[in-house]
């Protein structure tokens, strides 16, 4: 009997978390093997590993505790990867050498799979003088472009997709350029952007006062605070960025305010971190802890919750010692503070099971109570660890208890910390859980509402066809199992019907007992007025949130996945050429991720008068039900060919991964003329060896059905139109090609395959 609550859960496990050999042969024969692998790896740091291994396994069993994806995929594999989810890099020096040292550190971190955050406020503004070189500074945005290119390069080299956060203070002279950067759809695509908003700025906005833009003690410009606030709001209203981070509140609420200053966060914003700060993440699955779901005595099993939290804290503390780190500074920072980020998933499902409507006052109060219980259990568990293993090295009892959220902590917890110390400086955070929530049986993500009760997912088969599969929310499935066809109760609500104010209310309720921050999206209707939209951010500030991320579907950002009254999306539209309605082409907004295995073909090209043949391997991927080229490898023993074959391999592969009609590559290659003369091959004159390569690629595209025949490619990428929908559906998933993307937990997420830019 399978442990998976839904077919999609097993597919996510097999695709993302199951340990396999390099050739794809499974090492983890079952999900129980995966749990055992993780439990054994995290117990190895214990004095009695065998005893703790079984307890760790019990916590993982049936998806009750969900370590973040990097831990689940990497623990116990002996791979050179970090188990930490996110990093904030060192402070960027305002020198050319220092900036590029930071770029190198970022590349090394991303190569191991870490998402990174940077504060670019430390770089002098555009036009400021540069001493000694008689030149003006190019400004932080120009260097962000360099970071963006680096991230794309790391991705194209086959690494995990990159995720970066860039922050800038609201008083930096280039803040207006930063706010408007994403208006250019081709710029800074690897970054999430957030403005560091201070309390002084918010007071100036409310008072309609002036605001100075300064750097290095010099005032560059003064403008009305409301004008700058309106520019921030208009940008995020139009294209969902930048986000807003209330940075003074973050520093005031930091337990480590006595020894660090925070100026940046990880890519999804739930982890504000100091320079070289690192954090690992994990989530308690509240949906698995509800006793008598939908019954008259339905409630969360709080004793089970306390026990599970204690075990999870111990497991996460062990990750600090078990993980590798890309940089020694990150290892030192993690060891000095032993920061962890324990959060929740399945909150909305748990609320439904106990009879509460997400967004109601009662649900907000229950959320606050559950998160308070988790915080208490986590802090007391960390105190017990301190008794056994020692407090974190930078612990100072009086300074710690006078800092941040500790000032509001229950007195018995404060006294325990004063007496025994605490192992982990910060313990709670609510991270994006889109993929692990699917893996756990499609429980609701993080503290987000249920997105849809059910939807139809198109599943790619090995022969390139797609079958349809219903994906049902975990709570809805439980209702069906216990109540049959009885209609859902009135308190069942999903993201489609909630107001922005209800979203903010839930975020604020959870934030009270989360010592780091929360990754959450405030979904706004497309027709919300601009003034009402601004009120959402002011509500978030006034109710104690540490940041705010909204999403309003429109022509720029794309539409959120829409669901019918039965919560099933409409049929996926087909993108076709205006010029040739018989050819089906899928367009990507970002490069495709490379699957573990690809099917393809290898061709031998023998050029006359050349001693060595050229071999072309073309691998394909299936997107939108159609097979299309994904990458090319061109090899030859002739070393004279080495440089240009490598360059051609990289360039053609990069074009293929962008999607669209890539047949223009064939036509351009076939048109290359070699002034030294071509050659006759099989009765046909070929003007150059590059033209011959183009012919081989064309042969392959015809064979897989991408082109209808020889010579039928286009010389330029065609315009496309959407067929089958009266309204735009937004962008397709860059991983599976389906139009099932929606904004959740601050990041665009695909409900069909679990893809998320931020995970």
- DSSP class per residue in 696-755: HHHHHHHHTTSSSSTT---SSPPPEEEES-SS---PPPTTT--S-EEEETTEEEETTT--
> Which among 35-44, 482-491, 622-631, 741-750 has the top mean pLDDT?
35-44
442: annotated active-site residue: no
Q: Please report which confidence band the pLDDT of residue 479 belongs to, taking 50, 70 and 90 as the band edges.
A: very high
Q: Rounded to 5 degrees, what angle do the CA atoms 549, 551, 554 make?
A: 150
Among the ranges given (8-12, 191-195, 336-340, 547-551), the one the predictor scored with the smallest mean pLDDT: 8-12
Give the per-residue pLDDT at 582: 36
Instruction: Write out pLDDT tens, residues 118-147.
Output: 999 999 999 999 877 778 999 999 999 999
**Structural domains of the chain, with CATH:** 1-92+161-177+193-573+729-759 (3.20.70.20), 585-720 (no CATH)
- Is there a contact between 750 and 741 (Cβ–Cβ < 8 Å)? yes
Phi and psi torsions of 376, nearest 5°: -60, -50
What number of other Cβ atoms are within 10 A of residue 408's Cβ?
10
Average pLDDT over residues 70-74: 93
Q: How many CB atoms lie within 10 A of CB 451?
A: 25
Q: What is the mean pLDDT of the chain?
A: 87
Mean pLDDT of 290-304: 96
How many helices and strands, by DSSP H and E, does the chain display? Answer: 23, 30
Is 259 noted as a catalytic residue in this protein?
Answer: no
Say how far apart CA 282 and CA 273 lie, in whole Å.
Answer: 17
* In the predicted structure, residue 731 carries a pLDDT above the cut 70: no
Specify the pLDDT at position 200.
Answer: 98
For residue range 439-477, list pLDDT tens digits in order.
Answer: 999 999 999 999 889 988 777 665 556 678 889 999 999
pLDDT value of position 104: 93
Is the pLDDT reported for residue 679 higher than 90?
no
Please confirm, yes or no, whether 270 is among the known catalytic residues.
yes
> Which is more confidently placed, 688 or 356?
356
Residue 739: pLDDT above 80?
no
Catalytically annotated residue among 10, 53, 241, 270: 270
> Does 387 or 573 have the greater pLDDT score?
387
Q: Which of 266, 285, 424, 442 is catalytic?
A: 266
d(CA 271, CA 517): 6
What is the CB-side half-sphere exposure of residue 221 using CA atoms within 13 A? 15
Average pLDDT on 38-63 reads 96
Phi, psi of 11 (to 5 degrees): -65, -40
Q: What is the pLDDT of residue 22?
A: 84
| Averaged pLDDT for residues 55-66 | 98
Q: Determine contact, residues 232/172, Cβ cutoff 8 Å.
A: no
Q: Output b/e per residue, 474-505; b: 16+ Cβ within 10 A.
A: bbbbbbeeeeeeeeeeeebbbbbebebebbbb
Higher pLDDT, 607 or 194: 194
Mean pLDDT of 260-275: 95
Asked if the model's pLDDT at residue 625 lies above 60, the reply is yes
Tell me the range of 179-188, 638-647, 668-677 where mean pLDDT is highest: 179-188
> Which of 86, 151, 268, 747 is labelled catalytic?
268
Examine the pLDDT at 428 and tell me if it is beyond 50. yes
Mean pLDDT of 211-218: 97
Percent of the chain with pLDDT over 90: 62
Q: Is the pTM of this model over 0.85?
A: no
């Amino acid at each position: 009997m399978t442990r998976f609550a839904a077919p999609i859960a097993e597919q996510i496990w097999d695709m993302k978390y199951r340990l396999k050999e390099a050739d794809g042969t499974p090492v983890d024969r079952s999900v129980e093997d995966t749990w055992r692998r993780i439990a054994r790896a995290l117990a190895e740091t214990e004095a009695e590993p065998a005893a703790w291994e079984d307890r760790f396994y019990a916590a993982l069993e049936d998806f009750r505790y969900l370590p973040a994806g990097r831990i689940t995929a990497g623990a116990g594999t002996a791979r050179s990867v970090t188990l930490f989810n996110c990093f904030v890099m060192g402070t960027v020096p305002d020198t050319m050498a220092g900036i590029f040292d930071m770029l190198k550190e970022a590349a090394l971190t991303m190569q191991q799979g870490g998402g990174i955050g940077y504060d670019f406020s430390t770089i002098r503004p555009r036009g400021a003088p540069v001493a000694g070189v008689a030149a003006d500074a190019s400004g932080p945005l120009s260097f962000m472009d360099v970071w963006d290119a680096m991230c794309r390069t790391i991705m194209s080299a086959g690494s995990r997709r990159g995720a970066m956060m860039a922050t800038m203070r609201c008083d930096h002279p280039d803040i207006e350029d930063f706010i408007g950067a994403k208006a250019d759809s081709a710029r800074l695509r690897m970054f999430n952007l957030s403005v560091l908003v201070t309390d002084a700025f918010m007071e100036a906005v409310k008072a309609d006062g002036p605001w100075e833009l300064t750097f290095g003690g010099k005032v560059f410009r003064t403008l009305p605070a409301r004008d700058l606030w309106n520019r921030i709001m208009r940008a995020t209203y139009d294209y969902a960025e930048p986000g807003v981070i209330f940075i003074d509140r973050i520093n005031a609420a930091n337990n480590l305010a006595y020894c660090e200053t925070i100026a940046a966060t990880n890519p999804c914003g739930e982890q504000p971190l100091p320079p070289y700060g690192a954090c690992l993440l994990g989530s308690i699955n509240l949906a698995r802890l509800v006793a008598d779901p939908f019954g008259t005595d339905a409630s969360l099993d709080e004793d089970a919750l306390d026990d599970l939290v204690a075990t999870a804290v111990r497991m996460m503390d062990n990750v600090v010692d078990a993980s590798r780190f890309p940089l020694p500074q990150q290892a030192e920072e993690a060891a000095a503070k032993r920061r962890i980020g324990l959060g929740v998933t399945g909150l909305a499902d748990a609320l439904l099971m106990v009879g509460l409507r997400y967004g109601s006052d009662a649900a907000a109060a229950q959320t606050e109570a559950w998160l308070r219980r988790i915080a208490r259990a986590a802090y007391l568990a960390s105190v017990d660890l301190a008794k056994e293993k020692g407090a974190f090295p930078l612990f100072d009892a009086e300074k710690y208890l006078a800092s941040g959220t500790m000032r509001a902590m229950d007195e018995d917890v404060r006294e325990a910390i004063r007496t025994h110390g605490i192992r982990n400086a910060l313990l709670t955070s609510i991270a994006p859980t889109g993929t692990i929530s699917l893996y756990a049986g499609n429980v609701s993500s993080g503290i987000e509402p249920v997105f849809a009760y059910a939807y139809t997912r198109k599943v790619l088969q090995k022969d390139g066809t797609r079958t349809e599969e219903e994906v049902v929310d975990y709570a809805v499935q439980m209702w069906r199992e216990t109540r049959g066809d009885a209609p859902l109760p009135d308190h069942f609500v999903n993201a489609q019907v909630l107001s922005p104010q209800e979203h903010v209310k839930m975020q604020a309720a959870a934030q009270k007992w989360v010592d780091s921050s929360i990754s959450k999206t405030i979904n706004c209707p497309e027709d919300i007025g601009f003034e009402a939209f601004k009120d959402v951010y002011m509500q978030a500030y006034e109710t104690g949130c540490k940041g705010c991320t909204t999403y309003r579907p429109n022509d720029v950002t794309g539409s959120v996945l829409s669901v019918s009254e039965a919560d099933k999306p409409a049929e996926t539209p087909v993108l076709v050429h205006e010029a040739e309605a018989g050819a089906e082409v899928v367009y990507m907004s970002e490069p495709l991720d490379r699957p573990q295995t690809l099917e393809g073909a290898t061709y031998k090209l023998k050029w006359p008068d050349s001693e060595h043949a050229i071999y072309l391997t073309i691998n394909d991927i299936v997107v939108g039900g159609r097979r299309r080229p994904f990458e090319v490898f061109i090899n030859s023993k002739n070393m004279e060919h080495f440089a240009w074959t490598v360059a051609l391999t990289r360039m053609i592969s990069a074009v293929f991964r962008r999607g669209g009609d890539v047949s223009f590559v064939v036509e351009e290659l076939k048109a290359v003329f070699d002034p030294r003369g071509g050659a006759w091959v099989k009765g046909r004159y070929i003007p150059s060896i590059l033209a011959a390569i183009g012919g081989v690629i064309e042969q392959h595209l015809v064979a897989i059905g991408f082109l209808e025949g020889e010579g039928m490619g286009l010389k330029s990428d065609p315009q496309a139109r959407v067929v089958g929908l009266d309204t735009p559906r937004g962008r397709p998933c860059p991983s599976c090609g389906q139009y099932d993307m929606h904004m959740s937990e601050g990041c665009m997420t695909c409900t069909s395959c679990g893809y998320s830019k931020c995970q």
